[in-house]
Amino acid sequence: MSDPLHGLTLEAIVTALADYFGWEELGQRIEIRCFQSDPSVASSLKFLRKTPWARAKVEGLYLFMLREQARQQR
């Protein structure tokens, strides 16, 4: 199976998560300030590019979201 993250930018991942969950739920699922206090894609990207553990959490949540979407389409 191919890597679902391959070829995706961090911006595309954050945008998809914000669209799917909304900033408030995103901030509850991943408790980092850039999702909880005046959230934006730009501020999130700035933080996530410098913080590998947070980026890993975001990528994990994105993979979870893809599984949820696939389950809903059945």
The residue range of the domain holding 64 is 10-72
Q: Is 7 exposed, middle or buried (0-12, 13-18, 19+ CB in 10 A)?
A: exposed
Q: 4 lies in a domain?
A: no
Q: 52 lies in a domain?
A: yes
- How many domains does the chain fold into? 1
Q: 2 lies in a domain?
A: no
Q: 3 lies in a domain?
A: no
Sorting pLDDT into bands at 50, 70 and 90, what band is 1?
low
Cα gap 52→71, rounded to integer Å: 29
Instruction: Say how many CA atoms lie within 13 Å of 1 toward its Cβ.
Output: 3
Q: 49 lies in a domain?
A: yes
Please give the pLDDT value at position 2: 80
Cα gap 11→74, rounded to integer Å: 28
Predicted TM-score (pTM) of the model is 0.92
Write out pLDDT tens, residues 49-69: 999 999 999 999 999 999 999
In this structure, what CATH number is given to the domain that contains residue 55?
1.10.720.30
Write out pLDDT tens, residues 11-61: 999 999 999 999 999 999 999 999 999 999 999 999 999 999 999 999 999
Please give the pLDDT value at position 74: 86
- What one-character-per-residue DSSP string does 34-46 give? HHHSS--HHHHHH
